[in-house]
Amino acid sequence: MTSDSPNSFSELYSAYAAGCIDPAFALMLEAQSLMRSDVRRSVAMSEMISGSFLDSAPAARMRDGALERTLAKIDAIEARPEQQRAAGKAAGGAINEILELPEPVRGAAINAVGKQGWQIVSLGLKRLKLDVGSAMEVELYRINAGSKIPRHSHGGTEFTMVLSGGFSDERGSYGPGDVCVKGPSDIHQPVADDDEVCYALAVRDGGLRFTGMLGMVQRLLGGH
CATH number for 18: 2.60.120.10
Does residue 92 fall inside a structural domain? Answer: yes
Does residue 53 fall inside a structural domain? Answer: yes
Give CA–CA dist 72/31, Å, rounded: 23
48-58 as b/e: b if 16+ CB within 10 A: eebeeeeeeee
> Quick one: what percent of the chain has pLDDT higher than 70?
65
Does residue 27 fall inside a structural domain? Answer: yes
Give CA–CA dist 219/62, Å, rounded: 53
Over residues 91-122, the pLDDT tens digits come to: 444 588 999 999 999 999 999 998 888 999 88
pLDDT at 76 over 50: yes
Does residue 138 fall inside a structural domain? Answer: yes
Check if the beta carbon of residue 160 is closer than 8 Å to that of residue 149. Answer: no
Does residue 32 fall inside a structural domain? Answer: yes
Look over the chain and give the mean of its residue pLDDT values, rounded to a whole number: 78
How many C-beta atoms surround the C-beta of residue 151 within 10 A? Answer: 16
Does residue 1 fall inside a structural domain? Answer: no
Paired strand residues for 158: 182, 204
219 backbone dihedrals φ, ψ, rounded to 5°:
-70, -40
Which amino acid does the sequence have at 182? K
Helix, strand or coil, per DSSP, at residue 127: strand
The string of DSSP codes covering 157-188 is: -EEEEEEES-EEETTEEE-TT-EEEE-TT--B
Does residue 121 fall inside a structural domain? Answer: yes
Check if the beta carbon of residue 184 is closer than 8 Å to that of residue 155. Answer: yes
Does residue 76 fall inside a structural domain? Answer: yes
Q: Among candidates 170, 128, 171, 124, which has minimal Cα distance to 149?
A: 124
- Domain count within the chain: 1
Higher pLDDT, 130 or 77: 130
Helix, strand or coil, per DSSP, at residue 126: strand
Q: For the whole prediction, is pTM greater than 0.75? A: no
Over residues 152-211, the pLDDT tens digits come to: 888 889 999 999 999 999 889 999 999 999 988 888 899 999 999 999 999 998 777 666
**Domain span holding position 59:** 6-220
